[in-house]
Amino acid sequence: MCPGQLDHELWRGMEKQKHIIETQQFDLPRIERLFEQTRRVQRSLETGNRHEFGYSLKGRSMISLFYEPSTRTRISFERAAQLCGMNVCGTENAGEFSSAAKGETLEDSIRTLTGYYPDVIVLRHKETGAAQRAADTIDRYQLPVHVINGGDGTGQHPTQALLDLYTIWESRKERIENVHVVMGGDLAHGRTVHSLAYVLAKYSTVHFTFVAPTELQMKKEITDYLTRHGIRYTLETDPKTVLRDADVVYWTRLQKERLDPKLREDIERHGMYQIGQSEVDMMKPDALILHPLPRVGEISTEIDDDPRAQYFKQAQNGLYVRMALLLELLG
Ligand code: CP
């Protein structure tokens, strides 16, 4: 690259620091700072102190605008905001109960909501790129409002990836080195695996195995990104061949709302992408089993008490990470 020439990916990240749209925008120092803060928040709450951050963001406001269903992202964000002293309002079903149902565009909704003085809008939307469109609307009018992408179609879910990464970081004594991450399930449509692959690619010694039916393999734009950044990966179809060597098994559901029903039936009938006791028995004794949840049968409840199964802890970490992120953006 010539002196003075901009690294496009780096520049894109710097342009977007006001908003949280995709995980490529985070660099390692920022992640470390965020995780230090997350750890402080976690320790405070785990030791029974729910009030330590209760005045940190007093008077600040968050709107949660969810056009798709959510249990974890919406409620953990709302609890995170409340625990930091923020006011919260919004809708859990914007597709039905906002004026989107009457045909209002996302841009008009966002421009209207920014007039109500929020500091943050957390947006979940069925269309890939929706969070960027919301951010562009805000920036066009130079409004002091942060957009946080709470999941956009088959695009990204950056705060999920941050909590996934925090769970890995915490379980590996705060170092992410030589980690073999096996991601399985519906990698084509699962936005959490996209965001997590991008952010894990910041760690040069991480390597991936993507295990999925051919039709649901990891998107080419992501494998191309890994290649450009010198990150090793392999593509597989049979989980049994790869679970043995995994340090982290990151499993995902088939996204029935985005899948051809015939393909879904074929995959489910085969039962190949289900993790039960026999699959866990193959894994390393210190492997970490993660899932963004919700699960719909691809992880058997029979393994829930295995210490390697950390998906509920992972979901709880979402509260701590989101508090730390709000403190970073607004504190
Ligand atoms: N992992 C996740 O995004 O869960 P929700 O859909 O419940 O928010």
Task: With beta carbons less than 8 A apart as the criterion, state whether 217 and 210 touch.
Answer: yes
* DSSP secondary structure of 92-133: S-HHHHSGGGGT--HHHHHHHHHTT--SEEEEEESSTTHHHH
Which atom of ligand 1 is closest in space to residue 151's alpha carbon?
3
CB 112 less than 6 A from any atom of ligand 1: no
Residue nearest to atom 6 of ligand 1 (CA): 70
CB 125 less than 6 A from any atom of ligand 1: no
73 is catalytic: yes
50 is catalytic: no
- What pTM, to 2 d.p., does this model score? 0.93
CA distance 28 to 304: 32
Tokens standing for 225?
Answer: 């990104």
CB 292 less than 6 A from any atom of ligand 1: yes
Query: Which helix (H) or strand (E) segment is 88 a member of?
Result: strand 87-91
Burial pattern 135-165, b for ≥16 Cβ within 10 A else e, equals bebbeeeeeebbbbbbbbbbbbbbbbbbbbb
Could you say which of 102, 173, 175, 262 is catalytic? 102
Residue with tokens 């993660």: 290
CB 73 less than 6 A from any atom of ligand 1: yes
Which atom of ligand 1 is closest in space to residue 68's alpha carbon?
6
CB 72 less than 6 A from any atom of ligand 1: yes
CA distance 274 to 243: 12
Q: Beta strands 146-152 and 180-184: pairing type? A: unpaired
Residues in the chain: 331
Closest C-alpha to 137, from 128, 146, 127, 124? 146
* pLDDT, position 7: 38
Q: How far is CA 157 from CA 126, 162, 180, in A?
A: 12, 9, 22
Residue with tokens 């990150």: 231
| pLDDT by residue, tens only, the chain of 331 residues | 333 333 344 334 444 489 999 999 999 999 999 999 999 999 999 999 999 999 999 999 999 999 999 999 999 999 999 999 999 999 999 999 999 999 999 999 999 999 999 999 999 999 999 999 999 999 999 999 999 999 999 999 999 999 999 999 999 999 999 999 999 999 999 999 999 999 999 999 999 999 999 999 999 999 999 999 999 999 999 999 999 999 999 999 988 887 888 887 877 777 789 999 999 999 999 999 999 999 999 999 999 999 999 999 999 999 999 999 999 999 8
Could you say which of 16, 19, 74, 124 is catalytic? 124
Could you say which of 16, 72, 125, 133 is catalytic? 72
Q: How far is CA 259 from CA 4, 23, 212, 253, 325, in A?
A: 45, 25, 14, 11, 32
Domain 8-157+315-330, what fold?
Rossmann fold (3.40.50)
End-to-end CA distance of the chain: 36
How far does residue 293's CA lie from ligand 1's centre (Å)? 6
Closest C-alpha to 161, from 13, 317, 14, 2? 317
CA distance 20 to 123: 10
Pocket test for ligand 1, best of 65, 73, 257 (most atoms within 8 A of CB): 73
192 is catalytic: no
CB 109 less than 6 A from any atom of ligand 1: no
Could you say which of 157, 189, 253, 322 is catalytic? 157
Residue nearest to atom 5 of ligand 1 (CA): 70
Sequence ranges of the chain with CATH classification 3.40.50.1370 = 8-157+315-330, 159-312
Q: Which CATH number describes the domain made up of 159-312?
A: 3.40.50.1370
How far does residue 157's CA lie from ligand 1's centre (Å)? 9
CA distance 235 to 218: 8
How far does residue 141's CA lie from ligand 1's centre (Å)? 31
CB 150 less than 6 A from any atom of ligand 1: no
φ, ψ for residue 289 (rounded to 5)? -105, 120
